[in-house]
Amino acid sequence: KQKGNILKFKEMKQQGKKITMVTTYDFGMMSQVDKTDVDMILVGDSAANTMMGYEGTVHIDLDTMLVFCKAVANAAKHTFMVADMPFMTYEIGPEQAMLNAGRMIREGHADALKLEGGERIEHIVTALVKAGIPVMGHIGLTPQSAAQLGGFKVQGKSLESARQIVKDALALERAGVFAITLEAIPSPVAKIITDTVKVPTIGIGAGNDCDGQILVIHDLLGLFDRYTPKFVKRYANLGEDMQKAINTYCREVRDGVFPDEEHSFSMSKELAEQLAE
């Protein structure tokens, strides 16, 4: 498997090849993901939900995101790694964004960064791109501002709000993003954006016309059962498999079956006898 880059992802769009993406947050999981066909991974601030049990992504800070980034980077040898800029680490302005983006790249070893927002952060994205950082946009349902949106709701359902999302996509393209995440918008809105911008669109709850798709890996694998949005498809039930394995271990310990000889260390009979005297 060869690690991708932003030129290759643009080429994939031009050739009509779908881009696949999942989130990852730690070394163990990334070691597995790195062996798969996935084109790109995201160290998402959804780590706030999946790894820490918070209700929203606004509760994760830069230093915590850096812990997850470092762990993932140690295993992301063949996969392009995008990381989320956490809430309030870029909104103040280009200077704040550049200082924090520097840390995400330098200390977190991310290949690229993702920021939430369209027109309202155009000047910030422009500055980061000018500084040489590959930036991915994220519009539609933006979880960091879910409270302002009145909850985790589908965006762009009215003509006015759909037009705003298209404008946001164009602003991001102007600012120089290499890709745009489209979250929880009607499929026709995602199709128009995908047909309009030259950079790839990565959908989550945005229909089948996007240039690629992303899912939270815990949702995909069945490792998160607090809630499941409509756009999530479960491809495995690893949570149940984990419970089964742990319960088998518990039973074998209680029954005296584990550890057996195969998993124990031996000593010569002679020495053992001397020791027992």
Q: Which one, 181 or 201, has the nearer CB to ligand KIV?
A: 181
What torsion, rounded to 10 degrees, do the Cα atoms 56, 234, 3, 113 define? -10
Shortest Cβ 219–ligand KIV spacing (Å): 9
Dihedral sign of CA atoms 270, 272, 275, 277 in order: negative
Binding partner of residue 192 among Na ion, ligand KIV, none, CB cut-off 5 to 8 Å per kind: none
Angle between the N-to-C axes of helices 122-130 and 159-175, in degrees from 0 to 180, rounded to the nearest 10: 20
Binding partner of residue 204 among ligand KIV, Na ion, none, CB cut-off 5 to 8 Å per kind: ligand KIV
Alpha-carbon distances of 6 from 9, 199, 226, 239, rounded to whole Å? 5, 9, 34, 34
Binding partner of residue 216 among Na ion, ligand KIV, none, CB cut-off 5 to 8 Å per kind: ligand KIV
Residue 39 touching Na ion (CB under 5 A): no
Query: 71 to 90, contacts with Na ion by CB under 5 A?
Result: 84
Question: Has 114 been labeled as part of a binding site?
Answer: yes
Q: Which one, 42 or 185, has the nearer CB to ligand KIV?
A: 42
Residue 45 touching Na ion (CB under 5 A): yes
What gap in Å lies between CA 4 and CA 53, rounded to an integer?
31
What residue ranges bind ligand KIV (CB under 6 A)?
23, 42, 44-46, 84, 181, 183, 204, 214, 216
Q: Residues 202, 41: contact at Cβ < 8 Å?
A: no
The alpha-carbon radius of gyration of the chain (Å, integer) is 22
Omega before 259 within 30 of 0, i.e. cis: yes
Residue 134 touching Na ion (CB under 5 A): no
Residue ranges that bind Na ion, judged by CB under 5 A = 44-45, 84
Name the binding residues for Mg(2+): 45, 84, 116
